[in-house]
Amino acid sequence: MTKTWIILIFCFMGVPAIGQKKKSQKKEISNYEIRENEAPVPSDPKTDSKKGKSPKKSKKEPLVIEYITVGDEAPEADTTKKFTGIIKYRMTYDDPSEVDSMYIYFGEKKIRVTLFVPGVRADQIFENTSIANFADSTFTVLDNRTRTYRTEKLDARNAGTEFFLINRKKFMNVLGLNCPEFSGEMILNTGERFEAACLVSPAHTYPAVMEYNYLNIQPVVFGYKIVLGWRTKSSEGENTYILAYDIRKGNVEQYFDFSGYLKK
């Protein structure tokens, strides 16, 4: 199980993410190699790196995303490609036996993420569900077992995370879509650094918000475009891949109704 996955679990348990500092990269981040019905596999370029330290950041600092897209204009929402519906993602790691999944529901002004987490027994699966509401900037965590919920500020978790993603003018195929890749680095508020890259859809936009990063560590919307692929590599060489395998357009507003839940 990789660091990125552990961070996702810890965030739901209320435990701060802890990790070693990562070596900063001077060369381009490696590509996905995507085949039909398979998880992405990274190429293995040689890198020339040296240790770097990131200054300590206040947990109250806002999320920072820096675009480096030489020759490109600032992102604009293309409402003709607006998407509402469900996208299913497969999560894989260096160990091929470890496979998890994530469903993301794109509503009009809300995004719901459901993580399917393996339990102790082989047949045991738990769900971690959260809803981001962009109308009032709230983040609601649902407990399906106790039918309870709690609400917090949208960007509270892992506040201060920074993404430096460069448009490399490269494209990768995901579900028949030629997706541009933005790659570079993710820096947590602890100073830990990860190689990172995302693949954005050329056919699916989310005009309600320019950026949304799940728990501030996984891009879901990038420049108004929906992210179909995301990968990270830790300082210890552990890889995490999240890749869409099914896209279903439709009305999903019913998935944001938690009226039967009690507030904690």
Evaluated on CA atoms 85, 113, 199, 94, the torsion sign reads: negative
What three-state secondary structure class fits 157? coil
What three-state secondary structure class fits 3? helix
| 198, 219 contact by CB (below 8 A) | yes
Strands 99-106 and 110-118 come out as: antiparallel
Model confidence band, residue 21 (pLDDT cutoffs 50, 70, 90): very low
What confidence score (pLDDT) does residue 168 get?
85
- Alpha-carbon distance 59 to 259, whole Å? 32
What confidence score (pLDDT) does residue 4 get?
53
The HSE-up count of residue 120 (CA atoms within 13 Å, CB side) is 0
Mean of pLDDT values over 222-239: 95
* Among 135, 84, 113, CA closest to 230: 113
Using alpha carbons, list the distances in angstroms from residue 195 to 34, 126, 157, 231, 232. 18, 29, 20, 8, 5
What confidence score (pLDDT) does residue 3 get?
52
Where does residue 57 rank: exposed (0-12), middle (13-18), buried (19+ CB within 10 A)?
middle
Mean of pLDDT values over 135-162: 93
Of these ranges, 6-10, 27-31, 46-50, 243-247, the one predicted with the greatest mean pLDDT is: 243-247
Q: Which residue has the tokens 């030629």?
A: 178
What are the tens digits of pLDDT across the range 51-71? 444 444 444 454 555 544 444
What confidence score (pLDDT) does residue 10 get?
43
Give residue limits of the domains in the chain. 3-12+21-248
Mean of pLDDT values over 140-147: 93
Mean of pLDDT values over 35-47: 39
Q: Which H or E element spans position 191? A: none
| pTM metric for this prediction | 0.74
Q: Is the pLDDT of residue 23 over 60?
A: no
What are the tens digits of pLDDT across the range 240-250? 999 999 999 99
| pLDDT greater at residue 222 or residue 5 | 222
Model confidence band, residue 1 (pLDDT cutoffs 50, 70, 90): low
Q: What angle do CA 190, 70, 210 make, to 5 degrees?
A: 60
Q: What is the DSSP secondary-structure string of 213-243?
A: EETTTEEEEETTEEEEEEEEE-TT--EEEEE
| pLDDT greater at residue 14 or residue 221 | 221
Q: Is the pLDDT of residue 136 over 80?
A: yes
